[in-house]
Amino acid sequence: MSEIDEQFKATAEQINAKLKEAAEAIQQAKLLAHSVGLTTGLIYTQWTEEKLQWHQKDNGQKKLSAEELEAKCDELQEKLELIDVSYLETALGGAGWSTSSSYC
C-alpha cells in the first residue's frame, strides 16, 4: 500500500470516528426531545400530523378529533420552532448530503 493510501486510510478512520460522534449526539438530542414529549422528531414535517395519530394509537389512546389534532399540531409546531437545526443542515449540506427532503 502506498504512503498516500495509508494516509487516506488513517484519515478515513478519523472521519468515521467523527461521524459516529455526530450520530451519538443526534441520538442524545432525540432522547432529550422524547423526555419532554416530542415523539415525532426534531423538525415539523408534512408527516407530523400522521405521526401524532400513530403515536396516539400506539399508546392505546383514542384517535384525535380534527380540532384536537389541529390544536396538537399547532402546539407541536410552536415547540419545534424553538429547535434550531440550521447548523446541522448546513454541516450536512457542506459534507455532501441533501437536506432538501427533510421537511417532506
| The predicted structure's pLDDT at residue 58 | 74
Element holding 96 (H helix, E strand): none
Q: Which residues of the chain have pLDDT under 50?
A: none
Task: Give the predicted TM-score (pTM) of the model.
Answer: 0.79
Instruction: For the chain, state the CA radius of gyration.
Output: 19
37-75 CB burial, b ≥16 within 10 A, e <16: eeebbbbbeeebbeebeeebeeeeeeebeeeebeebbee
Asked if 53 and 69 count as a contact pair (C-beta separation under 8 A), the reply is yes
| The predicted structure's pLDDT at residue 44 | 92
> Which tens digits make up the pLDDT trace of 53-68?
887 777 778 888 889 9
| The predicted structure's pLDDT at residue 87 | 95
| The predicted structure's pLDDT at residue 2 | 86
